[in-house]
Each structure stands twice: as structure tokens, then as C-alpha cells.
């Protein structure tokens, strides 16, 4: 029988050990290896909970649900019950499915809600404060996953998170640094002192307890989905909205429903790619990028070589142009999925690419379709002992969402409304251009870059991958797949590898520090590329099935990400 007390002692000891590890030390090219099952997530305690769930008889979906609720406690900048996301599932019998639990616009939302009388965007209105929040979908999503695939009770899956919220958890160096940068915003956007505010700087090893969040989780544990979308928690959300001129109502909460959608699938060098459909742009964009790469010998060109980076950037600027034009909520617009994934359409787009010079983005528009996302997100990859796999990406959008914690409920609200095209043709906080397809409308789901992805080879599970990173999510997943499939890297090596990113506008290649040699940088600039050096791109959480059937975890050293298994 599952013992939360024993589990907490185990996990707290694990975390204490973890905290003593120097995160800057040389990380081996091969990641954590397990014989049967594995979880890779953004925090060691959350991964430990997922593993323990599987040891106690739960499957991959059970473990992912428990890990998700744990991240809402120990990773509040992105782990959440006040946000939403997507899940891609592959069972050991080969069946696939995906769940859309993306946030929705409130009923009172309207197209011009973030514009002033002159039709100009009002600074910060779509990103900070109550009006930035969409209707949360995360809790409904976890219950929808459980109803279809779960084996243990939801009470068992939520209990470890309640325990940690009550007893507290210790801050890692990265969490400490982040919290100390957010104190002014927390004070500005909350009328009370949240558990994350302090009169002094937080220090590594400080403990944070969350009694209000524990009560909210207990409400969900006792009353199921209605413990969040109705009753006291719903009252607390609506009261918060009313005080801050937010739009989410009781009816919005009660009527929210997740949607099962057909996954986006494609092929790349004999591998099957299974990813998320709209309103996520991730699956379509990923397949388009892979289609454009397949005709080129990038393994011969080399990882992060001039030709490889040039090709990737040229493909990405075209794919992101399509994203801005054609993608949105399929319940509101006709998304031309088949046409965008048609090899003839994409080949015509990519034939324009020259290896003698870069194409200025001003000359790149979306293709002609024939008739017919600081980015703070978090990802969970899970494989169980029976070979079931799930990839879940969830988000509050920005770090700590709209910075508003629901008084009495203990969780932050999302600022996902910024992922709409607040003013079509103008960029959002990630610099992504949006079009009419993603304009604001009541009850509509906003476009996303989340790309939870599962890869098979010869009908056998090979990889489970995903990452946070806003607009860089798609290209981070893309590069990680190339690192394994084309460049022969193991999972941890592929995750560690330095990344680059292009997204049409701004017309630049974002480059991680030390990703490219000086010669490659010079060569790319001679081709006409603008380079911008940045600190970190993405935080991958991945699992690779090795040829002998064992599992290799790839947890990103750019964060506190941790892969654990048994």
C-alpha cells in the first residue's frame, strides 16, 4: 500500500543528496540508465514521486499525473494547476492519442481587449495581472487522462503533493536565484504576502511551506474535478478575478472541458514522429522542419556546422511564417493540416533555399495553401515497465504566469491570453508574430508552441521528448531529435548539446553561449545571418530506449531537471 509518510522521507533524503551535487560539474555523455521505468521532469522531487507511483503499481499515465501535481508544488514558476497544456500518449499495443487541456479565453474576452483607444497595444496588460489569465485547463486535463488510462486512484496520485505542500521543500540554487528576482512583481500584483515573498533574500536550502495550496489539493483529492472548477476553490478564483478586473467567471470554470485530438504524425529517416495537433503549433512545425531536413546529409556536415545551422535557420524562418498565418484553434478556424504536412507543398517552399546566402525574413511569407510560446513551461516524459509512454507539456506561459496568486488557494494564475494575437501582425512577449487565425474570441484556445513528442522506430518505442521555452520549444525538440537520429548522440549528450533558434521574426539566429565556433559564426555572418548570443535555450526532459531495452534519461543541466528510474 502506498505510504505518503514513507515516501516523503525517501524523497526528502533524495533531494538533500541531490542538493549537494555540483550542477556545474562535468556531466557524463550517457545519462541515468534504468532497467524498467523512468521519469524525467523539471525537479528531483517530482521525478521521485512519479517513480514511486510506478513502483506501487501505477502505469506511465498515473506517474505523469502524480508528477504534474508535484510540480505544481515544487516548481511554481511553471508547474501548475492554474494553467494548461497538452499530452501525447502511446500505449504498448501501439495505439496513440493526445489530449488538449489548453486554457481558453473567458466568455467576456474580445478581440480588442488589450488595445487602447488608438488601437495600440497597452503595455503589460496581456502578460501581467488578472486580465492576462485564461480559463485553467490543467486539473480537468489530469482527470481526463486518469479517467481514460489511470489505474491507481486519484487520491493516491495527489497525496504525495499534499504532503510536500504541508511539510515544505527546500530551495535549489536556481530556484533561490529566480525567486529573488521576482519579489518586486509578487508585491506589485498581489494584495497579500504569498509564500514566495520574503523580507530578506531567499537562500539556498530555505524551506517553503504552502498550507493554502495543500488545502486546494485536498479539495481536489476529495471532490475530484469539481473540487477545482466548482465550490470553494472556484469561489476563490472568481473573487480574485473580481478584485483585479479579471474576466474568468464561475460559468467559465464549470464549463471548461479538455478535448481528445488526433495526434500529428510523420516520418523521418524511418522513424515515426507522434506529436501534438493544433491549437499546438508544435506537431505541424516539427514535421515540416524534419521534412525539409531529410534530403540533406547533415550527419556528414556535422553538428552545429555552418551548413547545418544555415539549413536549420532557413527552414525555421519559413515554418514560423506558416505558423503565424495558418495556425490557431481548430474549433474556431479551418487549419489546413494536410496541406501544411504535404511533402510537395513543403518541397516547393524549401526549393527557394540558397546555400550561398541567407534569405532576409522580409522576403519570406507563408506559402500559398491549395484549397481543400522567459518562457516558463515544463515537460514530463514517462515510460513504464510495460512500455507505455506519455509526454506532457504544461505551462503558465511566463515565469509565475501573470504573477497573481489566488488568495486562499495558493497557486499562480496563467497569462496565456498573451499567446493570442492581441493585435494581429504584432509580436507577443516571445517575439512571435500572430495572424487573424489566432485572434482573441470568447471560449477560444490560444495557439501554443508546446511540442510533447514520442518517437518510434520499426514499430517500437524509441524516444519520449519535450521541453519548455516558449517559441524555442519547437526548435529545441527538433534539434534533440536530429542529435540522436543524425548525429548519433545518446540521450543525455543530445540534451546537453548547445542549441540555436530562428523564428522568422526577429530576423536573427539566437545562439547559446559556446554553441558555435568562431569560424562558424563568421561564416554565418558572411552568408547574411544576424547572430544573437543568449544564455540558455530550452530545458529538455527526455527518455531514450536503448537497443537492449534499457532506458536512458536525458535531463537538462540548464535547470534542476532530473531523470530517475528503476
For 122-140, write each residue's pLDDT tens digit: 989 999 999 999 999 999 9
Quick one: cell of 417?
A: 491570453
For 12-71, write each residue's pLDDT tens digit: 444 443 433 334 444 447 899 999 999 999 999 999 999 999 999 999 999 999 999 999
Pairing of strands 96-101, 259-261: antiparallel
Using an 8 Å Cβ cutoff, are 489 and 499 in contact?
Answer: no
| pLDDT for res 482 | 98
> What positions carry a catalytic annotation?
377
CA distance 130 to 319: 33
More confident of the two residues 424 and 219:
219
More confident of the two residues 437 and 229:
229
For 193-223, write each residue's pLDDT tens digit: 999 999 899 999 999 999 999 999 999 999 9
| pLDDT for res 89 | 98
304, pLDDT greater than 50: yes
| pLDDT for res 368 | 55
CA distances from 404 to 128, 136, 240, 532 (A): 8, 14, 9, 32
Bond before 127 cis per omega within 30 degrees: no
| pLDDT for res 121 | 86
Using an 8 Å Cβ cutoff, are 281 and 447 in contact?
Answer: yes
CB count within 10 Å of CB 301 equals 17
For 157-204, write each residue's pLDDT tens digit: 999 999 999 999 999 999 999 999 999 999 999 999 999 999 899 999
Percent of the chain with pLDDT over 70: 91
Domain residue ranges of the chain, discontinuous segments joined by +? 4-102+125-254+376-417, 261-374+450-548
User: Which class in CATH covers the domain with range 261-374+450-548?
Assistant: mainly alpha
| Region 333-338 average pLDDT | 95
457, pLDDT greater than 80: yes
Quick one: cell of 406?
A: 489566488
Reported confidence tier of residue 375, pLDDT bands at 50, 70, 90: low
CB count within 10 Å of CB 182 equals 15
Amino acid at each position: 500500500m502506498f505510504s505518503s509518510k514513507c515516501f516523503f522521507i525517501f524523497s526528502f533524503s533524495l533531494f538533500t543528496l541531490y542538493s549537494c551535487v555540483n550542477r556545474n560539474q562535468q556531466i557524463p555523455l550517457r545519462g541515468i540508465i534504468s532497467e524498467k521505468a523512468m521519469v524525467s521532469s523539471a525537479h528531483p522531487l517530482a521525478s521521485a514521486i512519479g517513480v514511486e507511483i510506478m513502483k506501487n503499481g501505477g502505469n506511465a499515465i498515473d506517474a505523469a499525473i502524480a508528477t504534474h501535481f508535484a510540480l505544481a508544488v515544487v516548481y511554481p514558476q511553471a508547474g501548475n494547476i492554474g494553467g494548461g497544456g497538452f499530452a501525447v500518449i502511446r500505449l504498448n499495443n501501439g495505439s496513440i492519442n493526445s489530449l488538449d487541456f489548453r486554457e481558453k479565453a473567458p466568455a467576456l474576452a474580445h478581440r480588442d481587449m488589450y488595445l487602447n483607444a488608438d488601437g495600440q497595444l497597452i503595455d503589460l496588460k496581456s502578460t501581467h495581472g488578472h486580465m492576462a489569465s485564461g480559463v485553467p485547463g490543467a486539473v480537468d486535463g489530469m482527470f481526463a487522462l486518469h479517467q481514460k488510462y489511470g489505474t491507481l486512484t486519484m487520491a493516491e496520485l495527489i497525496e504525495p503533493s499534499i504532503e510536500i505542500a504541508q511539510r515544505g521543500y527546500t530551495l535549489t540554487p536556481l530556484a533561490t536565484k529566480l525567486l529573488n528576482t521576482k519579489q518586486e512583481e509578487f508585491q506589485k500584483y498581489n494584495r497579500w504576502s504569498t509564500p514566495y515573498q520574503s523580507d530578506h533574500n531567499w537562500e539556498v536550502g530555505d524551506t517553503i511551506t504552502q498550507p493554502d495550496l495543500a488545502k486546494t489539493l485536498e479539495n481536489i483529492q476529495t471532490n475530484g474535478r469539481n473540487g477545482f472548477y466548482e465550490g470553494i476553490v472556484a469561489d476563490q478564483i472568481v473573487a480574485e478575478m473580481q478584485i483585479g478586473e479579471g474576466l474568468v467567471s464561475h460559468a467559465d470554470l464549470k464549463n471548461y472541458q479538455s478535448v481528445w485530438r488526433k495526434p500529428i504524425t510523420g516520418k523521418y529517416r524511418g522513424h515515426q514522429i507522434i506529436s501534438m495537433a493544433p491549437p499546438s503549433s508544435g506537431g505541424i512545425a516539427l514535421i515540416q522542419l524534419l521534412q525539409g531536413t531529410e534530403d540533406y546529409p547533415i550527419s556528414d556536415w556535422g553538428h552545429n556546422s555552418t551548413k547545418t545551422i544555415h539549413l536549420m535557420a532557413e527552414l525555421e524562418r519559413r515554418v514560423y511564417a506558416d505558423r503565424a498565418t495558418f495556425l490557431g484553434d481548430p474549433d474556431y478556424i479551418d487549419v489546413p493540416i494536410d496541406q501544411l504536412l504535404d511533402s510537395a507543398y513543403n518541397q516547393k517552399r524549401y526549393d527557394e533555399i540558397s546555400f550561398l546566402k541567407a534569405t532576409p525574413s522580409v522576403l519570406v511569407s507563408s506559402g500559398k495553401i491549395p484549397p481543400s510560446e522567459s518562457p516558463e513551461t515544463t515537460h514530463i516524459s514517462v515510460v513504464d515497465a510495460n512500455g507505455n509512454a506519455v509526454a506532457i507539456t504544461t505551462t503558465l506561459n511566463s515565469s509565475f504566469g501573470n504573477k497573481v496568486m489566488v488568495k486562499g488557494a495558493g497557486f499562480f494564475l496563467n497569462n496565456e491570453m498573451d499567446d493570442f494575437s492581441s493585435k494581429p501582425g504584432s509580436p507577443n512577449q516571445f517575439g512571435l508574430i500572430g495572424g487573424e487565425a489566432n485572434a482573441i474570441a470568447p471560449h477560444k484556445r490560444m495557439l501554443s508552441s508546446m511540442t510533447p513528442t514520442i518517437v518510434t522506430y520499426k514499430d517500437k518505442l524509441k524516444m519520449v521528448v519535450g521541453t519548455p521555452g516558449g517559441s524555442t520549444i519547437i526548435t529545441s525538440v527538433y534539434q534533440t531529435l536530429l542529435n540522436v537520429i543524425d548525429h548519433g548522440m545518446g540521450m543525455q549528450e543530445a540534451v546537453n548539446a548547445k542549441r540555436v533558434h530562428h523564428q522568422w521574426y526577429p530576423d536573427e539566429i539566437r545562439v547559446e553561449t559556446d554553441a558555435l565556433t568562431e569560424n562558424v559564426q563568421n561564416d554565418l555572418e558572411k552568408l547574411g545571418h544576424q547572430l544573437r548570443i543568449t544564455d540558455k535555450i530550452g530545458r529538455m526532459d527526455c527518455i531514450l530506449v536503448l537497443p537492449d531495452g534499457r532506458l536512458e534519461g536525458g535531463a537538462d543541466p540548464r535547470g534542476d531537471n532530473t531523470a530517475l528510474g528503476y
